[in-house]
Structure 1
Amino acid sequence: MTTTAYPDPTREKLLDAALVHVVFDGWGPETFKAAIADSGVSEGLARVAAPRGSVDLASAYHKRGDREMVKALAETDLSTLRFTDRVTHAVWLRLQTVDRELVRRGMSLFSLPLHAPEGTKLVWETADAIWTALGDTSRDVNWYTKRVTLSGVFASTVLFWLGDDSEGFTDTRAFLDRRIEDVMKIEKTKATVRDNKALSALFAVPNALFGMIKAPAGAGRTDVPGTQQSTQGATE
Structure 2
Amino acid sequence: MTEQTATEQPAADTGSIDALLDAALIHVAFDGWTEATFAAAVEDCGMDPVLARALCPRGAVDLALAYHRRGDAQMLERLKTADLTGLRFRDKIAAAVRFRLEASDDKEAVRRGVTLFSLPVYAADGAKAIWGTVDAIWTALGDTSEDINWYSKRATLSGVYSSTVLFWLGDDSPGHQATWDFLDRRIDNVMQFEKLKADVQKNPLLKPLLAGPSWLADQIRRPSTPTDLPGRRTGR
Q: Deviations over 1:165-222 (max 9, x none)?
A: 2111111111110000111112222333344444334312101101111111129x9x
Matches within 5 A, 1:1-236: 1-6=4-9, 8-98=14-104, 99-218=106-225
Q: CA deviation at 1:3?
A: 4.0
Structure 2: which 5+ runs fail to align?
A: 228-236
Which has the bigger relative contact order, CA under 8 A and spacing at least 6? Answer: 1
Secondary structure of the equivalent of 1:115? helix
Give the paired residue count. Answer: 220
Deviations 1:118-170 (A, max 9, x none): 11111111111111111111011111111111101111111111111211111
Q: Distance in 2 between matches of 1:19 and 1:93?
A: 21
Amino acid across the alignment from 1:45: L
- CA–CA separation in structure 2 for the residues paired with 1:202 and 1:196: 11
Q: Structure 1, residues 23-82: CA drift from partner, whole Å, max 9, x if none?
A: 111111111011111222211111110000000000110111111111111111112100
Would the aligned equivalents of 1:5 and 1:67 in 2 still touch at CA under 8 Å?
A: no
1:90/1:130 contact within 8 Å kept: yes
Normalising to structure 2: TM-score of the pair? 0.88
Give SS of 2:121's match.
coil
Partner residue of 2:234?
Answer: none
Q: Could you tell me the percent identity over the aligned residues? A: 55
3-state SS, counterpart of residue 16 of structure 1: helix
Instruction: Find the counterpart in structure 2 of residue 230 from structure 1.
Output: none
Residue 5 of structure 1, CA deviation: 3.8
* Aligned counterparts of 1:90 and 1:153: Cα–Cα separation in 2: 12
Structure 1 runs not aligned, ≥5 long: 222-236
Residue 233 of structure 1: aligned partner: none
* AA matched with 1:140: D
